[in-house]
């Protein structure tokens, strides 16, 4: 059991039952706070954040300060930027924050605890059963918007997951016809929830299926895709290993199984002059452009780096 300002103590309060904390969309079982932390008193928000940082740092969380601030803001129902003006946490809020910090220290994804993931200029609901969108994928969206400036045409988001890419494009280009394709039943539930009322058309299907969206063959202006691409056996952070769906992360021994099958389907969907952008592993900076060249139907092939300077996505134009 993790506690503010201390290390794990598995023997503390052995007879006290665990409690279940309900997040926005799902439950997580957490150990009860020790008596000294359950005191019926208000807690200064700055102090609570400092103590949360200690706990999260000890647990190996990559961004302990950011996560502590986001969780505190979530409990207080305010934006992170307003935290300098935050009131003290009342006893109920303090207990809720302790529960959230304890869960985050056990590497439950931050976005599962808040129930949402920020992406581009939108938020999407996320939780167990769907891949949490990553900030680096925003670069793929920005590229897509740059080649789809007039915004009047058809866009397809393959391996849509939560729908983050499709919804970001739809928000930025409201005149576009946007399709979001996903095959996994659990992810589809999140996708349908996020897409409700957005105008994005959700399609249940396998992205390599030759019959997928056959009525759009040769008419699509832009295809974007963040597929599974991590080579099997690659070490990944606990948040990914324990909570992201395996099929949304890994794709065969070299990580290219799905992308190989995807390229010919995309070539048939795109109109001449249409664009394709696909995210890939940072070891695929030559392999994915090579697959696009080998297909023979693409030109203007390029690879792009993320903010850390690593190969991150490839783009091409249909001839």
Residue stretches of the annotated binding site: 182, 226-229
**Conformation bin of residue 22: beta by default, left when phi > 0, alpha when psi is -120 to 50:** beta
- List, in sequence order, every residue forming a beta bridge with 250; answer none if it has no partner: 230
Question: Which residues sit in the known binding site for substrate?
Answer: 226-229
* Active-site residue flag, 227: yes
Number of H helices, E strands in the chain: 10, 11
Which of the residues 226, 250, 276, 313 is marked catalytic? Answer: 226
- The count of C-alpha atoms lying within 13 angstroms of the C-alpha of 100, restricted to the half-sphere facing its C-beta, is 31
Classify strands 311-318 and 298-305 as parallel, antiparallel or unpaired: antiparallel
Residue 44 annotated to the active site: no
The rounded distance, in Å, linking the Cα atoms of 87 and 176 is 43
* Active-site annotation holder among 227, 243, 289, 311: 227
Output the six-digit token pair for 315: 């783009």
Q: Of the residues 4, 119, 131, 243, which is catalytic?
A: 131
Determine contact, residues 42/145, Cβ cutoff 8 Å: no
Given phi > 0 = left and psi -120 to 50 = alpha, else beta, which region is 218? Answer: left
CB atoms within 10 A of CB 164: 30
For residue 244, what are the contacts with CB-CB under 8 A and spacing of at least 6?
109, 131, 132
Contacts for 261 with CB less than 8 Å, ≥ 6 apart: 207, 208
Annotated binding-site positions for S-adenosyl-L-methionine: 182, 226
CA distances 313 to 97, 179, 284, 301, 309, Å, are 37, 20, 9, 11, 12
Closest CA to 160 of 198, 110, 215: 198
Active site annotation includes 174: no
> Quick one: which H or E segment has residue 95?
helix 91-105
Catalytic residues, by residue number, are: 131, 226-227
């Amino acid at each position: 059991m993790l506690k503010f300002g201390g290390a794990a103590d598995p023997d503390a309060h052995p007879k006290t039952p665990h409690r279940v904390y309900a997040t926005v969309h799902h439950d997580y079982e957490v150990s009860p706070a020790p008596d000294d932390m359950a005191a019926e008193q208000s807690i200064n928000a700055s102090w609570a954040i400092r103590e949360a940082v200690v706990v999260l740092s000890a647990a190996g969380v990559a961004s302990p300060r950011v996560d502590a601030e986001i969780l505190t803001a979530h409990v207080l129902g305010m934006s992170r930027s307003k935290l300098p003006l935050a009131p003290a946490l009342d006893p109920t809020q303090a207990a809720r924050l302790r529960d959230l910090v304890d869960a985050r220290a056990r590497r439950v994804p931050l976005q599962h605890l808040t129930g949402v993931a920020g992406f581009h200029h939108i938020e999407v609901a996320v939780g167990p059963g769907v891949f949490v969108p990553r900030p680096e994928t925003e670069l793929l969206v920005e590229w897509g918007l740059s080649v789809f400036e007039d915004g009047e045409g058809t866009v397809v988001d393959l391996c849509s997951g939560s729908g983050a890419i499709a919804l970001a494009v739809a928000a930025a280009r409201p005149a576009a016809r946007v399709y979001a394709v996903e095959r996994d039943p659990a992810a589809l539930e999140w996708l349908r929830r996020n897409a409700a009322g957005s105008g994005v058309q959700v399609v249940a299907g396998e992205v390599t299926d030759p019959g997928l969206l056959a009525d759009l063959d040769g008419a699509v202006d832009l295809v974007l895709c963040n597929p599974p691409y991590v080579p099997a056996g690659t070490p990944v952070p606990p948040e990914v290993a324990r909570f992201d769906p395996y099929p949304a992360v890994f794709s065969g021994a070299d990580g290219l199984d799905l992308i190989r099958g995807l390229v010919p389907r995309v070539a048939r969907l795109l109109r001449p002059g249409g664009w394709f952008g696909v995210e890939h592993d940072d070891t695929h900076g030559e392999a994915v452009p090579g697959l696009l060249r080998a297909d023979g139907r693409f030109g203007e092939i390029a690879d792009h780096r993320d903010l850390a300077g690593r190969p991150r996505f490839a783009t091409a134009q249909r001839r």
